[in-house]
Amino acid sequence: MGILNNEKYVGDVRYNKTYTDDNFHRHRNKGAVDSPEMKDHHEAIISRELYATAHEVLEQRLRERGIRRDDEKYQRRFAFSSKIICGECGTTFKRQVISSGISWCCKKHIADKDSCSMKFIHEEAFQSAFTTMLNKLIFTRKILLRPYYNALRVAGSDENLQRIMSLKESIQKNSDRKCELKKLRVKGVIDAVMYTQELNRIEKKNEESRREMQNLGNIESGLMLRETEKLLHFIDTAEVQDAYNEELFISFVDSIIVYSRDSVGFKLKCGLTLKEALCTDTRS
C-alpha cells in the first residue's frame, strides 16, 4: 500500500504527511494540518496513466473485500460499515445499538442534529429494501439488466478502443515533451515563465484526453462490464429471495444513498443505482 500510494513515482511530492503534536508525539496527518502537494516536482518514474490504472484496480479489489483504506483493522466488521451515505450532507452512517435494536444514523446528525436532519434508520429496513430490490432485478432482468449489459458491450467497441489507444499515444508523447522541457529548463534554454506555460498547456491537454478516455469507458466501463456479467450470472439462475443475504449484498452493492427515511438508492458495482422504498415501523 505504501508503494502504490507513493506520489513520488509520478514526479509529485506531498508535504506534512505526518505532524508532531504539542506533546511531541508523531501522528499520521488525516487532515489535522495542511498537506500541500507540488506537481511535477521531479522526474517521474512511471506515467500518471499507469499510476491511475493501478489505483482503479486497487480500489475495485478493496470494494470487493469490503475494505476501506485508512480505516483501522476492525472498523469495517459490519457489511454496512462505510457504505451508507447520507443524501443530505454526504456523510457516512454510523452503527448504533439502541433500545429498539440495531440502527444506522448519519455521523453529522449524531454530532450536531442541527447540521443534518437525517435521523436513524433501523438495520432491518435496509436489509428488507435490498432483498426487495434484488427480487425486482430477478423478475425484470430481461428488460433492465440484459439491455444494460448490451449497452456496456457497445461502449467497449473496437472503434472506441482505437480512439482510446490514440489518446494514450498522445498522452505518452506529451509526457516525453515534458521531459524534454525539463532538460531545456535545466540547460537554461527556456526561461521559467515559458517553461511553466508550456507545462500547464501539456497538462491541460492530457487532462482532456483522460476525461475523454473515461467517457469512452476505458477502465470504468471494463470494471462495470465484469460486475454486470457477475450479477447476470447470479440473476439468471437465482430464485426469489425470501430473506436478506449478506454475502450477496457485499458482492453486488458498492454503497447505499439515503435520500430520506422513506427511500434509498442502491449503487451497484455494475454502475446502476436502483431506488427502493424503506419500510419504517413505529419504533422509528
User: Of the given ranges (46-50, 89-93, 152-156), which has the lowest mean pLDDT?
Assistant: 152-156
The pTM assigned to this predicted structure is: 0.54
Predicted pLDDT at 104: 94
Residue 74 has pLDDT above 60, yes or no: no
Higher pLDDT, 16 or 200: 200
Predicted pLDDT at 183: 87
Residue 157 has pLDDT above 80, yes or no: no
Mean pLDDT computed over 1-18:
83
Residue 255 has pLDDT above 90, yes or no: yes
Give the confidence band of 281 by pLDDT, cuts at 50, 70, 90.
low
Compute the distance between CA of residue 192 and CA of residue 181 in angstroms, rounded to an integer. Answer: 11
Give me the residue spans of the domains in the chain. 1-77, 81-148+223-284, 157-216
CB 190 within 8 A of CB 184: yes
